[in-house]
A and B are shown apart, each in its own frame.
Chain A
Amino acid sequence: GAGVSQSPSNKVTEKGKDVELRCDPISGHTALYWYRQRLGQGLEFLIYFQGNSAPDKSGLPSDRFSAERTGESVSTLTIQRTQQEDSAVYLCASSRRLAGAVYEQFFGPGTRLTVL
């Protein structure tokens, strides 16, 4: 079946503009994650959605970052008033989720964001 998809693949924006990044998880995956990967670095956790539970926003770096997810489908990560330090690859992952079990996180190809 189809994997995790993300759009756009690349986004170039000017400092101060708002951007929206989209993630389509694998059908049936109730858990969805956003990570940020700065150049030459590992991935940093941003936010986690699980079904209808309140999201875990503990990784969001500032109040300029927000994310939404409608049910168990598409998620949108929004960055307001972008700064050059926001330039990075933003990766989305999804997984199944059952209490007491650990399922593999499947990653999308990411969106490369460049803030000029």
Chain B
Amino acid sequence: AQTVTQSQPEMSVQEAETVTLSCTYDTSESDYYLFWYKQPPSRQMILVIRQEAYKQQNATENRFSVNFQKAAKSFSLKISDSQLGDAAMYFCAYRSARGAQKLVFGQGTRLTINP
């Protein structure tokens, strides 16, 4: 079974600075998808960014980018120019490209933005 590990329960960053959230995963599959979700206090999960394992190029969405290291099974999220609205829980998630459609989530990292 696949597992996802987020080793940083909490992180904090100064507004306008850059922060990196870590995620590692374990799988025997070669084809899969990785995601970062944001969960503000409203509880609603919001997709931040996704990465297809077959793509070597790291995904980027505005201020959000990932560092995908397939051999190391590492998938970190970098947030540039942090804003107060970025404060939330961030979850890393894995999804197989075949078979099961479910998302497998890590434990989450609580990000605090200091003004």
Chain A positions within 8 Å of B, measured between CB atoms, are 31, 33, 35, 40-45, 48, 50, 56, 58-59, 89, 91, 93, 97, 102, 104-105, 107-110, 112
Complex CA distance for A110 and B42, rounded to whole angstroms: 9
Q: Give chain B interface residues in 45-67, CB to chain A under 8 Å.
A: 45-47, 50
Taking a contact as CB atoms under 8 Å apart, the answer to whether B104 and A45 are in contact is yes
Taking a contact as CB atoms under 8 Å apart, the answer to whether A102 and B97 are in contact is yes
Task: For the complex formed, measure the closest distance between the CB of B52 and the CB atoms of chain A, giving whole angstroms.
Answer: 8
Residue of A nearest to B102 (CB): A45
B contacts with A: majority SS? loop
Taking a contact as CB atoms under 8 Å apart, the answer to whether A33 and B108 are in contact is no
Over the window 90-115 of chain B, the binary record of Cβ atoms lying under 8 Å from chain A Cβ atoms (1 yes, 0 no) is 01010101001111111110000000
List the A side residues contacting B100 at CB < 8 Å: 48, 56, 58
Taking a contact as CB atoms under 8 Å apart, the answer to whether B107 and A42 are in contact is yes
Complex CA distance for A89 and B42, rounded to whole angstroms: 12
Task: For the complex formed, measure the closest distance between the CB of A7 and the CB atoms of chain B, giving whole angstroms.
Answer: 14
Partner of B43, one of A56, A97, A109: A109
